[in-house]
Structure 1
Amino acid sequence: MQKLLFTLLLIIAGLVCGYLLQRFIRKNIEHHQLLLPRLRKSLQVFSMLGIMPIAFVGVLWIVPFGDLRVALLPVLAGVILFSGGGLGLLAAALLKKSSQQKSTLFCCGFFTNIGSFGGLVSFVFFGEKGFALLAMYRLFEEIIYYGIGFPLARYLASDDTDLRIGRRILELFRDPFFLVASGSFLLGLLLNLVGVNRPPFYETLNSLFVPIGIFLLLVSIGLGMRFSNIRQHLRLGLAISLIKFIILPLVGGTAGYLLGLHNMMDGLPLKIVLIAASMPVAFNALVAASVYDLDLDLANACWLITTCGLLVVLPWLYFLFSLI
């Protein structure tokens, strides 16, 4: 129970701190439109380029890779992400939404907050091994998001038939976030396979770095929170919640079980899949909505509703994991 309470408190504290700071800046600083994006970016850079790579190296250094079925985790991630996007499009078709809203619902179903929320839950619930398996699960996440997800969002909202996926993938390989994350993953994996012993202090280091790094990411998310027009899009927000919190965990859990992930490491890989498949809409959905002139209010509503839905989802996952 302490793990559940710590996770919920850290998520709430990070989001609330970010939101209150946003309100203070909007009220007291004249050029807040320029300051807020810069502050969000600075927090993300410090966390994702400074703190989290050290943690990634440490956890991948010790995770056991004896069973090759672990390599199926990033494949499962792709299946779940594309299933979410497809279900978002299906919801838009059933509800007869415009092309802008269709693309927005695709983004909300597709983009998932695996990194900050999923990373925190995996680490607090299951320690470094859980966090390492989540890193393996996320192996192709950036390529899928920026190489396929963003071009598809643009394509669905316009008459342009040029997806430009190849160009987006080439641009991705110049992105410092992608390069640092990939480099830390490969370094940790190399140290693991070579058999170098990890220094004893690294466990203590990660026990501090992972919560601090994720807390900073949560504060950056809180800096972008907006509560306007939630009621107007409540129905669609609940539809996305159904996809995120019920259908996708069923898809991921069933696929993971059929692949035998429950027979590995006391079922830890299957539990990580369930965590990742149960996470809310990622902030990338709002980025895509803003960049491609989609329905930004709808994206914000779905993002906020599903983020608040974690207050129900996390206790359910904690209870479920106590049974399996």
Structure 2
Amino acid sequence: MDATELRIVFIFVDLILPLIVGYVLKKINKLTAGQCNWLIRFNIIIIFTILSILSFWVMPLRVELMMLPFFGFFCSALPLGIVYFFHLQRKFPDKLEQGSYVITAIPSNIVTIGGLCAFILYGEVGFAYAQMVGVFQNLVMLFVCFPMGYYFKFRSIHKNEPFAMGNLNWRSVFINWNQVSVAGMILGIILYIIDVPRPEALGTLFQALVHMGAWFALIPIGYMIDFSGLKKYYWSTFDLAPIKMIITPAISYLIAALFTNDPVLLGSVIILMATPCAINALITARLYGLNVNLSMAPFITTVGLYIFVLFPAFYLLVTNRILPFK
């Protein structure tokens, strides 16, 4: 089996299979919500931090890479602007539904699904690009999604009272374990700058950890999949699919093309900007008592479209030289 065929196998083994395993484990009561939370935290704090060190250790620093943090904000700001300013009030008059809908539109699954898909197509450099974009997506989650969750919950209870952000635990927003991978990025960059050679064995470890991280991340996603709310909210939230997976990557590509002609960088931008709704939206909806079923519907829809349709199609078009991103 050559490298191309092996990477196609990864699409099933590392993307589809763990989702199925997580869903089945929940159905047969072999996995608990607490165990899923442990998997998520271990993946973010330990595995992602090690991967950040290893990937940035060997990634050449180029000026054009400075645009990547911008896309961490842009892929959130564009969908937020579309849904908030064009049809949020008309579409969902209930504040809890409004909150779930707008928060689900904001974050994308850049680090977990996007990072794995970028690695499958482009190797370590693609994964490093995902890390650079994903770090700033985490900031959006902390400074936009959490405050908005609090806002919509507050408005659902206190319709006429003045709103105050002082009740948020800002210390936990600024300082938390989810930021450890940022330190890993910085350490990797320092090792690269001072020209410390990365041992060859760590390249093998990197590849093993990518696959392990995919399973640790996607099993909880499979566990959280609940089809009960899909029927009610499927059509009313389906517009998030083209907004996040067609409009956002298309505009992102046009912007990126102004700064670089690197086909791998441009292809990575497309892969990352088209990623589906993130599990963090469901976590935020649950944390602030919003409508979790509404968030679940576009989450299932976009994850299914990305894993089963969009990324496989993009992969085949690129590897067969039909699209110039290789």
Instruction: Tell me by how many angstroms 1:193 deviates.
Output: 1.2
313-322 or 124-133, which moves further after superposition? 313-322
Distance 2:178 2:287 in 1: 19
Instruction: Flag the 1:161–1:273 CA change in 2: closer, same or farther, 3 A.
Output: farther
Task: Work out whether residues 92 and 101 of structure 1, in 8 Å CA contact, stay in contact via their aligned partners in 2.
Answer: no
1:298, distance to aligned residue in structure 2 (A): 0.8
Structure 1 residue 283: deviation in Å?
Answer: 0.9
Contact 1:82 1:110 in 2 (8 A): yes
Given that residues 244 and 274 in structure 2 are in contact (C-alpha distance below 8 angstroms), is that contact kept between their aligned partners in structure 1?
Answer: yes
Deviations 1:218-270 (A, max 9, x none): 11211211110211111123211111211111121111112x23x2xx32222
Instruction: Please tell me whether the aligned partners of residues 108 and 277 of structure 2 are also in contact (alpha carbons under 8 angstroms).
Output: yes
Distance in 2 separating the partners of 1:97 and 1:40: 33
Q: Given the alignment of the two structures, is residue 184 of structure 1 paired with residue 180 of structure 2, yes or no?
A: no
Matched, 1:85 2:80: yes
Q: Alpha-carbon deviation of 1:165?
A: 10
2:34 to 35, 38, 51: 38
CA–CA distance in 2 between the matches of 1:91 and 1:18?
35
What's the RMSD between the two structures over aligned residues?
A: 2.0
> 2:265 is matched with which residue?
269
TM-score (norm 2): 0.88
The residue aligned with 2:111 is 115
Q: Secondary structure at the residue paired with 1:138?
A: helix
Alignment length (residue pairs): 309
Alignment of 1:71-220 (within 5 A): 71-89=66-84, 90-157=86-153, 158=155, 159=159, 161-164=163-166, 168=170, 170-178=171-179, 180-220=180-220
1:7 aligns with 11
Q: 1:22 aligns with which of 4, 26, 31?
A: 26
Task: Confirm whether residue 224 of structure 1 aligns to residue 221 of structure 2.
Answer: no
Give the % identical residues: 25
Q: Is the 8 A contact 1:4 1:125 kept in 2?
A: no
- 1:46-85 matches, cutoff 5 A: 46-65=42-61, 67-85=62-80
**How many angstroms apart in 1 are the aligned matches of 2:92 and 2:201?**
56
For the 8 Å contact 2:115–2:130, the answer to whether it is kept is yes
* Equivalent position of 2:239 in the other structure: 239
Q: Deviations over 1:59-93 (max 9, x none)?
A: 1000011x212111011220121112222323424
- TM-score, with structure 1 as normaliser: 0.89
Distance 2:282 2:119 in 1: 26
Partner deviation per Cα, 1:145-194 (whole Å, 9 max, x = no partner) = 112221023224525532459953x323431121x211111111111111
Q: Distance in 2 between matches of 1:270 and 1:165?
A: 42
- State the 1:95 CA deviation: 2.7
Q: 1:269 to 1:314 in 2, by over 3 A?
A: same
Distance 1:319 1:165 in 2: 49
Once the two structures are overlaid, the 10-residue window that deviates more, 74-83 or 89-98, is 89-98
Contact 1:236–1:302 at 8 Å: present in 2 too? no
Classify the secondary structure of the residue corresponding to 2:225: coil
Question: Is the 8 Å Cα contact of residues 47 and 213 (structure 1) preserved in structure 2?
Answer: yes
The aligned amino acid for 2:82 is L
Secondary structure class of the residue paired with 1:293: coil
CA distance in structure 2 between the aligned counterparts of 1:181 and 1:43, rounded to whole angstroms: 16
Distance 1:154 1:166, change over 3 A: closer
In the aligned structure 2, how far is the partner of 1:118 from the partner of 1:241? Answer: 16
Amino acid at match of 1:238: F
- 311-320 or 296-305, larger mean C-alpha shift: 311-320
1:290-322: CA deviations, max 9, x gaps? 122222111111111111112111123224534
Gaps of 5+ in 2: none
**Matched residue SS, 1:140:** helix
Partner of 1:318: 315
Shift in Å, 1:8: 3.5
Specify whether residues 252 and 165 from structure 1 end up closer, same or farther in structure 2 by C-alpha distance, changes over 3 A only. farther
Looking at structure 1, the residues matched to 76 and 8 of structure 2 have their Cα atoms a distance apart, in angstroms, of: 26
